[in-house]
């Protein structure tokens, strides 16, 4: 006889993660073990500090409110609605950290933990989902991953076989020669060994690399190979790495140092024995594509359209990396190098079209998301130009020169694919193409005389990064800014209030707050409603602590976690949530061919909606830190 209750439970559970990842037979077995429970409004299911039950819960109909004490008040941690899991033990603690109360008349299903645990351990999709998006008894998924073990036995999967995280496969057959060997002797050794490179060693320690390219250049120049020594043409200093280097780490080193080979040594330095050699070709074979090669292509580009084509290839690489599941921090590191090369080459081409060289040193600043190294998709431009002070009689001509240069630069970036800034926050705007003295005055005004209007500009211009030109000018401006910040507590209060202008992006009843009108009516603005509050909080807190040259939002939170141990869990949660939100936005942008900012919620699966909501958890708490610390309620 058919178990009709189990069948109804099965039909319900199969719609929601992680049950949708289970085989039909396994899910039906779980459904036969489930019980149905009815709760009246305000009825308590379990209380904080109560011992965990041997069952966990899924809302079938209605809503469950999870609360915990906060000072003299009771704080609502979450509202669980249809399909949500809660009450599952995910840390080593033996008692509930929240109280579960029916927010309305509610029907829930209860499932035995022990039976479900067996399926979760055997099914990676279930474990990964729970790690990524289930955290009803704690603040967020990051805490779950760091502070406990799922079902008391789970160890986070480090994905060691994932491309980019796997150990690099280097050649252990290293052929070497002495620096005093002639070029001809080195060439003969390479030919007899059938290799394209050899390591130059002194006292068995690496001092350089010699490749076919150096040999070809030497011969082409007519140099006497019988008298020229290897040390005269080798690549040095040599770049070394340890034997446990991953593919992703090796790729970053090749890009950073602009080399084609890494010498693998026992301790990763040039002061220990050689154990292998790793070439760029080895990395290309591992990844199937090479950002290092793309950087070379960018550097060789002679036209803007070629830069656009190169950046379109970068988008393909980005898609592949996301599909492979590479950590976002790794992706950001690689694309920071790629974007840096793109901007640098764009400026070189712009300078080449000027009738004369720059009259004084200058620097081109990337602002906003690009200044934070968080720009992975085509968005609008935010940039500025700073140049050295000149005598009054030369100011007009100097500014005219740099405005022409900035105009060329902005036009080229537009052709590459970056829209003009709607607010005209670009170097071609006379307001943002200034000598260092005027930039100092501008920042002084924002800091000493803050206003709601100036906060819009501060939010963009305090996240700056040099992409071309004088580092000295940037250092001078940074030193000036931080000398002013120490005297202005009112500025922090205004900046904190600005970071609070967008409340957490879900209503009390856990509905997404969407746009109420306009072209994006009923769509969710992930940038302004979810990411911007986290960015703003990280900015003001990092400025408050004097964190210089730390622009990336997740890195700011990670450093704040060290500076404020009492808030460590919260800041680590914010770092995790921001990276998850950024990755989600990028995936949506690539899928829809846009910036990924506005999301049609009906296009998301239940799983994706739940994951998004989990990322909102730390937002309310970090905003409360801002309110208390900077007393924003007293500002008019």
Say whether pLDDT at 508 is over 70: no
Residue 115 CA to its chain's centroid (Å): 37
Position 289 scores a pLDDT of 54
Map residue 69 onto helix, strand or coil. Answer: strand
pLDDT band at 284 (very low <50, low <70, confident <90, very high): low
Name which residue leads in pLDDT, 186 or 286: 186
Position 143 scores a pLDDT of 34
Say whether pLDDT at 282 is over 80: no
Q: How far apart are CA 87 and CA 53, in angstroms?
A: 8
Helix (H) or strand (E) holding 452: helix 452-461
Position 595 scores a pLDDT of 85
Say whether pLDDT at 327 is over 70: yes
Comparing 80-94, 238-252, 612-626, the range with the smallest average pLDDT is 80-94
483: CB partners within 8 A, 6+ apart: none
Say whether pLDDT at 476 is over 90: yes
The answer to whether the CB of 266 falls within 8 A of the CB of 272 is yes
Closest by CA position to 14, among listed 3, 2, 26, 5: 26
DSSP letters of 363-421? Answer: EEEE-HHHHTT---S--B--EEEEE----HHHHHHHHHHHHHHHHHHHHHHHHHTPBPP
Taking residues 561-589, report their average pLDDT.
90
Position 171 scores a pLDDT of 87
Q: How far apart are CA 206 and CA 239, in angstroms?
A: 9
Say whether pLDDT at 536 is over 50: yes
Taking residues 416-428, report their average pLDDT.
92
Residue 385 CA to its chain's centroid (Å): 26
Q: How far apart are CA 262 and CA 206, in angstroms?
A: 11
Say whether pLDDT at 146 is over 50: no
Give tens-digit pLDDT for 367-399: 999 999 998 888 889 999 999 999 999 999 999
DSSP 3-state helix, strand, coil percentages of the chain (rounded to 5)?
50, 15, 35
Q: How far apart are CA 434 and CA 428, in angstroms?
A: 10
Taking residues 522-541, report their average pLDDT.
92
560: CB partners within 8 A, 6+ apart: 538, 541, 542, 545, 547, 567, 571
The answer to whether the CB of 412 falls within 8 A of the CB of 349 is yes
Closest by CA position to 533, among listed 508, 506, 511, 515: 506
pLDDT band at 138 (very low <50, low <70, confident <90, very high): very low
**Phi-psi map region of 515: left, alpha, beta (phi>0 left; psi -120 to 50 alpha):** beta
Give tens-digit pLDDT for 3-60: 688 899 998 888 877 888 888 888 999 999 999 999 998 999 999 999 999 999 999 8
Position 33 scores a pLDDT of 93
Specify which residues 61 forms β-bridges with: 107
Q: How far apart are CA 363 and CA 256, in angstroms?
A: 21
Alpha helix (H) residue ranges in 262-391 = 280-287, 291-300, 304-324, 328-352, 368-371
- Pseudo-torsion of CA 149, 154, 160, 162, nearest 10°? -100
Say whether pLDDT at 333 is over 50: yes
Position 321 scores a pLDDT of 79
The answer to whether the CB of 216 falls within 8 A of the CB of 197 is no
Q: How far apart are CA 90 and CA 92, in angstroms?
A: 7
Provide the 10 A C-beta neighbour count for residue 129: 21
Position 92 scores a pLDDT of 61
Name which residue leads in pLDDT, 118 or 477: 477
Percentage of residues of the chain with pLDDT beyond 70: 89
Name which residue leads in pLDDT, 20 or 164: 20
Q: What is the pTM of this model?
A: 0.63
How far CA 301 is from CA of 315, 346, 349, 366, 468, in Å, comes to 17, 9, 9, 21, 17
The answer to whether the CB of 179 falls within 8 A of the CB of 207 is yes
How far CA 120 is from CA of 38, 377, 407, in Å, comes to 27, 36, 58
109: CB partners within 8 A, 6+ apart: 9, 12, 13, 34, 35, 36, 37, 57, 58, 60
The answer to whether the CB of 196 falls within 8 A of the CB of 261 is no
| Helix and strand numbers, DSSP H then E, in the chain | 25, 20
Position 144 scores a pLDDT of 35
Q: How far apart are CA 145 and CA 624, in angstroms?
A: 24
The answer to whether the CB of 320 falls within 8 A of the CB of 294 is no
Position 153 scores a pLDDT of 29
Question: Radius of gyration over alpha carbons of the chain, in Å?
Answer: 29
Say whether pLDDT at 602 is over 70: yes
Q: How far apart are CA 447 and CA 362, in angstroms?
A: 24
Position 452 scores a pLDDT of 77
Q: Is 261 exposed, middle or buried (0-12, 13-18, 19+ CB in 10 A)?
A: buried
Provide the 10 A C-beta neighbour count for residue 469: 19
Position 129 scores a pLDDT of 62
Q: How far apart are CA 514 and CA 533, in angstroms?
A: 16
501: CB partners within 8 A, 6+ apart: none
Taking residues 193-215, report their average pLDDT.
90
Q: How far apart are CA 422 and CA 164, in angstroms?
A: 38
Say whether pLDDT at 322 is over 50: yes
Position 165 scores a pLDDT of 54
Closest by CA position to 5, among listed 40, 39, 26, 33: 33
Q: Report helix angle 532-544 to 617-630, nearest 10.
A: 40
Q: What is the mean pLDDT of the chain?
A: 85
Which tokens is 349 given? 């081409």
Q: Is 189 exposed, middle or buried (0-12, 13-18, 19+ CB in 10 A)?
A: middle
């Amino acid at each position: 006889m058919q178990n009709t209750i189990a069948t109804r439970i099965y039909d319900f559970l199969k719609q929601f993660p992680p049950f949708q990842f289970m085989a039909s037979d396994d899910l039906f077995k779980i459904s036969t073990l489930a019980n149905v429970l009815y709760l009246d409004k305000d009825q308590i299911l379990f209380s904080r500090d109560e011992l965990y039950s041997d069952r966990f819960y899924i809302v079938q109909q209605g809503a469950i409110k999870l609360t915990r004490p906060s000072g003299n008040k009771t704080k609502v941690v979450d509202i669980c609605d249809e399909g949500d899991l809660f009450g599952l033990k995910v840390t080593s603690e033996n008692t509930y950290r929240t109280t579960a109360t029916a927010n309305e008349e509610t029907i829930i299903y209860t499932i035995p933990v022990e039976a479900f645990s067996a399926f979760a351990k055997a099914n990676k999709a279930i474990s990964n989902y729970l790690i990524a998006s289930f955290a009803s008894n704690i603040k967020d998924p990051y805490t779950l991953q760091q502070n406990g073990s799922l079902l008391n036995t789970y160890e986070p999967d480090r994905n060691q076989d994932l491309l980019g995280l796997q150990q690099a496969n280097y050649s252990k057959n290293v052929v070497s020669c002495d620096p005093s060997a002639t070029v001809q002797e080195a060439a003969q050794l390479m030919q007899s060994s059938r290799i394209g490179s050899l390591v130059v060693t002194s006292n068995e320690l690496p001092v350089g690399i010699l490749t076919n390219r150096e040999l070809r250049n030497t011969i082409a120049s007519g140099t006497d190979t019988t008298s020229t020594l290897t040390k005269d043409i080798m690549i040095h200093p040599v770049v070394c790495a340890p034997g446990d280097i991953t593919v992703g780490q090796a790729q970053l080193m090749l890009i950073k140092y602009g080399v084609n080979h890494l010498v693998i040594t026992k301790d990763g330095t040039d002061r220990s024995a050689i154990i292998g050699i790793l070439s760029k070709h080895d990395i290309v074979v591992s990844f199937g594509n090479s950002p290092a090669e793309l950087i070379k292509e960018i550097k060789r580009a002679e036209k803007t359209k070629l830069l656009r084509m190169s950046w379109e290839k970068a988008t393909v690489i980005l898609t592949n990396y996301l599909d492979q599941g590479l950590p976002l921090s790794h992706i950001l590191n690689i694309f920071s190098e790629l974007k840096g090369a793109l901007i640098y080459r764009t400026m070189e081409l712009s300078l080449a079209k000027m009738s004369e060289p720059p009259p004084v040193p200058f620097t081109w600043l990337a602002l906003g998301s690009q200044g934070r190294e968080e720009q992975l998709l085509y968005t609008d431009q935010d940039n500025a130009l700073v140049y050295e002070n000149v005598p009054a009689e030369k100011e007009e001509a100097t500014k005219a020169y740099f405005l022409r240069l900035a105009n060329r630069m902005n036009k080229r970036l537009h052709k590459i694919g970056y829209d003009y800034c709607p607010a005209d926050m670009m170097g071609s705007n006379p307001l943002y193409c200034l000598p260092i003295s005027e930039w100092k005055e501008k920042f002084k005004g924002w800091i000493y005389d803050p206003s709601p209007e100036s906060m819009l500009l501060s939010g963009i211009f305090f996240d700056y990064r040099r992409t071309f030109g004088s580092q000295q000018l940037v250092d001078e401006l940074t030193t000036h800014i931080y000398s002013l910040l120490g005297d202005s507590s009112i500025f922090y209060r205004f900046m904190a209030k600005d970071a609070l202008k967008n409340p957490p992006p879900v209503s009390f009843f856990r509905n997404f707050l969407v746009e109420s009108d306009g072209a994006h009516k009923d769509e969710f603005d992930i940038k302004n409603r979810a990411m911007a509050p986290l960015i703003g909080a990280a900015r003001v807190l990092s400025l408050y602590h004097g964190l210089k040259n730390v622009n990336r939002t997740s890195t700011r939170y990670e450093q704040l976690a060290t500076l404020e141990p009492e808030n460590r869990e919260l800041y680590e949660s914010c770092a995790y949530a921001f990276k998850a939100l950024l990755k989600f936005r990028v995936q949506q942008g690539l899928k829809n061919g846009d910036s990924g900012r506005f999301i049609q919620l009906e296009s998301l699966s239940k799983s994706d909606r739940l994951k998004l909501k989990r990322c909102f958890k730390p937002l309310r708490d970090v905003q409360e830190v801002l309110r208390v610390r900077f007393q924003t309620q007293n500002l008019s």
